[in-house]
Structure 1
Amino acid sequence: AARVALGALAEALIDQVAGIRLVSHVVAVGAQRATSQAVPTPADEEALCAASMRTLDPADNARFEAAVDDAKHAGDTIGGVVEVIAYDVPVGLGTHVSARERLDARLAGALMSIQSVKGVEIGDGFAQAALLGSAAHDEIVRGEDGHLTRTSNHAGGIEGGTSNGAPIVARAGFKPISTVPRALRSVDLATGEEAVGLHQRSDTCQVVPGAVIAEAEVALVLADALFDHAGGRSVGEMRRNLAAYLHAVGERA
């Protein structure tokens, strides 16, 4: 709850200073993956909140619900994958100099800090490992407006530890909740004898609230990175600092 509350403040700050907007959604529950190619935007937030499984596509929502129901009826739990997308992120947030301060490293650390998260991807993530370099990287071209742009976003908006101006795409994989109703084998530490795990009340699946928590963590990281580039004592001062920085970047492009 504390992370989400702080994340809400961070989201408001990065929106007011830089126009950065975030959205999160569920892309997989267990073995069921989203089939819709529709990518949500911040304008879809109301629709996502209205969906029981925080996904835009009704068919995907129904399949995700069924997967959770099946696990519940089997006395089991189930995990899944959530995705957070950050739109209109200024170019250059993060650094290529310090390994710990790379934007992707900071995002990965923040997402991995969420309880039950066991894996993080930025952009195409692990899928890139199966591709050749010619297919995995984003080509740079000069757009119709004369500015440099890319033909794809396999990198997920981060290259060389810094934001490249494309939407930042991060995913987090949640393991199934460990308090399984169908108690698992364990050992009584007092006696050393075999025992079964104590089942406490728990949800069957945590990915829907997990998406909201992941969004909050991304907001906190981006707010911190924004302070590094445009820190100030007020929103107005940060806006002026950011505008000066972006003007200098634009002159080089």
Structure 2
Amino acid sequence: MRYLTAGESHGPQLTTIIEGVPAGLTLTADDINIELARRQKGYGRGRRMQIEKDRVQILGGVRHGKTLGSPIALVVENKDWKHWTKIMGVEPLEEGADDEIKRKISRPRPGHADLNGAIKYGHQDMRNVLERSSARETTVRVAAGAVAKKLLKELGIEIASQVVEIGGVKASPKPYSSIKELQEKTEQSPVRCFDEEVEQQMMDAIDEAKKNGDSIGGIVEVIVEGMPPGVGSYVHYDRKLDAKIAGAIVSINAFKGVEFGLGFDMARKPGSAVHDEIAWSKEKGYYRLTNRLGGFEGGMTTGMPIVVRGVMKPIPTLYKPLKSVDIHTKEPFEASIERSDSCAVPSAAVVAEAVVAWELANALVEQFYGDRMDTLKKTIAEHRAFAKEF
């Protein structure tokens, strides 16, 4: 499976074309709209979320609630486009009208793609860069992830996320009875945190950053249950599934680090306290006594829950802007300010779910030859039985 996205933050719409989804998957706009709404929630979001009420249009690849096997076209309109039609219009400008266009950007914001993108493409107005590099693009990545999540669900695979740290406020590891409990409890949390005792501290940290014209980041965790063992590969570097997931996490705007299981703590522990001992029972087949490696060995799933965390840096658009240099005059200035969030970590957890779901669904379709949902279900069921009896 693969997908491409197109569109700008203040353009008319965001679009994605998805290819390779098996025929016969039950899919409706509501399946996707639920995920789009989740992405827009979260304490610390800015005014843009009050303007946009994201709803998807399915314009191809689905008939009567079932995927056809052909490319799926999804569109999400930008409601704020009506205020940007002249600034972001597609048609060529009349001679001399270039000077009338407002909101040109010549002062790159530290931490953003502005300057590097302008150098790469030769843009003198860096709005050409920031409109595409904006995290608004994750809207349709979440839409694509919603399709992947629906596919996983039909295969008995569940995915959830939680925020484990915001601005230095850390949640305590707390056991949950099921992934459903984790899903339900984090959905009720303004900061998508399972640990109720630190919710208010996280919100206080966000409020303090906002009051100071600053921003804060954090850490999100994605958990997946139900993946069969042996998905991925050890034979080539580019087929390792954990590597693909790591790349997907860091591809999210403002994400700078990723870890599985114990993660970076492994550097401070002996091997006996890192690796997961193997057991077997007639009921379970092979399983691990612990899950310190986060569900992966040798680039392949072990059948244990996948546990992956991503580090999100503070959003670099600040209301107390940092120093920069005007690309036209080369004089120092304070960087320009665009409307932004003081903290987007809770919503970033939803984006992380989406990109992880996509990589897992893609790996299953690729490994088990999924042109049709019925044959995909059958081959995966046969693989599960083989792994259990092996």
TM range (shorter): over 0.9
Equivalenced residues, count: 251
Give the 3 Å change call, closer, same or farther, for CA 50–124 of structure 1 in structure 2: same
Equivalent positions of 1:205-224 (< 5 A) are: 205-224=343-362
2:171 aligns with 34
**Distance in 2 separating the partners of 1:246 and 1:50:** 34
Matching of residue 233 in structure 1 with residue 374 in structure 2 = no
Assess if the C-alpha contact under 8 Å between 1:185 and 1:197 holds in 2: yes
Matched, 1:55 2:161: no
User: Does the CA-based 8 Å contact 2:285-2:387 persist in structure 1?
Assistant: no
Give the letter for the 1:156 counterpart: G
Tell me, yes or no, if the aligned pair for 1:230 and 1:239 is still in contact at 8 Å: no
TM-score between the two structures when normalised by the length of structure 1: 0.94
Shift of 1:185: 0.8
Tell me the amino acid that sits aligned with residue 380 of structure 2: L
Q: 1:146 to 1:7 in 2, by over 3 A?
A: closer
Deviations 1:160-188 (A, max 9, x none): 00000100001110000001111111111
Name the SS for the 2:213 alignment partner: coil
The residue number in structure 1 matching 2:234 is: 96
RMSD of aligned Cα (Å):
1.5
User: Which stretch of structure 1 is more off in the superposition, 146-155 or 100-109?
Assistant: 146-155
For the Cα contact (< 8 Å) 1:22–1:42, is it kept in 2? no
What is the aligned counterpart of 2:275 among 129, 137, 151? 137
Displacement of 1:251? 2.7
C-alpha distance in 1 between matches for 2:202 and 2:173: 13
Distance in 2 separating the partners of 1:218 and 1:150: 22
State the shift of 1:144 in Å. Answer: 7.1
Give the alignment's TM-score, normalised by structure 2.
Answer: 0.62
Deviation at 1:26, TM superposition (A): 0.5
Is 1:194 the equivalent of 2:344?
A: no
CA 249–36 in structure 1, closer or farther in 2 if over 3 Å, else same: closer
Q: Which has the larger radius of gyration?
A: 2
Q: Which has the higher contact order (CA 8 A, sep 6+)?
A: 1
Determine whether 1:20 maps to 2:165. no
Q: Secondary structure at the match of 1:232?
A: coil
Structure 1 stretches of 4+ with a deviation exceeding 4 A read: none
> Per-residue CA shift, 1:220-247, capped at 9, x if unaligned?
0000111122223221110111122222
Query: 1: CA distance between counterparts of 2:388 and 2:324?
Result: 60
8 Å Cα contact 2:286/2:388 also seen in 1: no
**1:14 and 1:226 in contact (8 A); partners too:** no
1:36-66 deviation digits (Å, cap 9, x = unpaired): 4234723432332221000122212111111
Tell me the residue number matched to 2:22: none
Does residue 216 of structure 2 align to residue 78 of structure 1? yes
Q: Which runs of 5+ in 2 are unaligned?
A: 1-138
Residue 11 of structure 1 aligns with which residue?
A: 149
User: How many Å separate the matches in 1 of 2:171 and 2:186?
Assistant: 14
Residue identity opposite 2:227 in structure 1: V
Which deviates more, 42-51 or 22-31?
Answer: 42-51
**Which of 305, 309, 319 is the equivalent residue of 1:167?**
305
Partner secondary structure for residue 311 of structure 2:
strand
Deviation at 1:137, TM superposition (A): 0.9
Question: Match for 1:181 among 304, 319, 327?
Answer: 319
TM-aligned CA distance change 1:239 to 1:53, over 3 Å: same
Q: Which whole-Å CA distance do the structure 2 matches of 1:102 and 1:140 have between them?
A: 21
In 1: Cα distance, 2:282 partner to 2:205 partner: 45
Kept in 2, the 8 Å contact 1:36–1:60? The answer is no
AA aligned opposite 2:223: I
Amino acid across the alignment from 2:163:
V
Aligned residue in 1 for 2:285: 147
CA distance in 1, matches of 2:353, 2:144: 11
C-alpha distance in structure 1 between counterparts of 2:248 and 2:142, whole Å: 13
Per-residue deviation, 1:193: 1.4
1:23–1:84 CA contact under 8 A, matched in 2: yes
Name structure 1 gaps, 5 residues minimum. Answer: none
Deviations 1:101-127 (A, max 9, x none): 101101001111101000011111111
Aligned-pair identity in percent equals 39
SS in 2 for 1:202: coil
